[in-house]
Structure 1
């Protein structure tokens, strides 16, 4: 019984360290924060970072992996459901984009501050030459590949080059959305809010699908 209580207490401490690191990395970046600051935020001994994770970089990886695993499982399930629920011609490009983006947008809107911090961190590292290629490949390439395969199955005549560029533009739009910089608030005079994720979900799949389709239609006209 005592061992069980100790294990539960240890797991709570570990989760506090992950939450604290997620928040501070999102706000100040990997290099802008110390292990001591993370431990202070988590109300824990700095030595516990080494005990549970091994070091700062390992803690950073654990922060990214914790929600990536959950998120990728949900996105895989939504893509599977999108394809299995479609008719003989398969789902539309817009439906595939919605299934791919919806889990991220829904958690950004409704998942609480932890998910907000996580997506802010993802937006930060995606735009970083130091981290973007390595980390996004490690944690998000499998789901990106699954998405691209779904697009190629429903549109087998589309060129791979245009499909990959279109995905690149989709990724950029999502990263800017998750950053919630407030730029659209200023440009629109308050008409649009960068925090209005529901409005993003209502528009983004249509917008990106139209871009996918326009590239392909232009290629067909010139071939």
Structure 2
């Protein structure tokens, strides 16, 4: 009985620690998505969580390590899901992918997370947009987490457009990721420009249009039908 009680206590402590860690990451994600790495302190995060800031120092040592942990938590989810979607599409196409098919697998899988994942995923999207536009250290984070899935997309696009110059395919991807990052930032600019006809929060509308739009762009710069 005593051993069982000890096991339960250990389990409870582990569960409590896991819950606290998730809360820390959630609150840090929210703050970083709004104010960036340099606009947030560990004390800011600790205050929102309701713990002393020394606890955050204990878990993460410094603010950059906390930021990296926040970014990595969902990066592995979206990169894994997109890799699986691309692999499944490649198999389903019999190794003969189309431009639209590859882009749908890559983009729609990611957009679905922001459509169905709640505020946490939307905060992460805004954070990702910041990271992607921070040359000082953001490129390194993007490289380490997303290069494999991006190169898998490039591989499928090369299959879909075998006569397209490699540089045009990479430029095409550059435009795709730029549009995706603006989308994830949700600045509200399109709301104002369109007089409310379009809304930056409307990921469903974006999903319905983005892959087809980008596929047309690839065809244009590659100057061929694929």
TM-score, structure 2 normalization: 0.92
Number of the residue aligned with 2:181: 175
Partner of 2:89: 82
Secondary structure, counterpart of 1:31 in structure 2: helix
Structure 1 segments unaligned to the other structure (5+ residues): 219-223
Q: Is the 8 A contact 2:183 2:200 kept in 1?
A: yes
Summarize deviations over 1:173-216 as a string: whole Å, max 9, x none: 00111111111111111111111111111110011011111111
- Give me the CA root mean square deviation: 1.3
Residue 62 of structure 2 is aligned to residue 59 of structure 1: no
Structure 1 match to 2:80: 73
Task: Please say if residues 20 and 42 of structure 1, whose CA atoms lie closer than 8 Å, have aligned partners that are also in contact.
Answer: yes
Mean Cα deviation higher: 143-152 or 169-178: 143-152
Matched, 1:46 2:50: no
Q: How far apart are residue 154 of structure 1 and its match?
A: 2.6
**Cα distance in structure 1, aligned partners of 2:93 and 2:155:** 16
What residue number does 1:133 align with? 139
Tell me whether 1:94 sits opposite 2:119 in the alignment.
Answer: no
- Contact kept, 8 Å, 1:13 with 1:44, in 2: the verdict is no
Could you list the runs of 5+ residues in structure 2 that have no partner in the other structure? Answer: 1-7
Aligned length: 217
The answer to whether the aligner puts 1:30 opposite 2:37 as a matched pair is yes
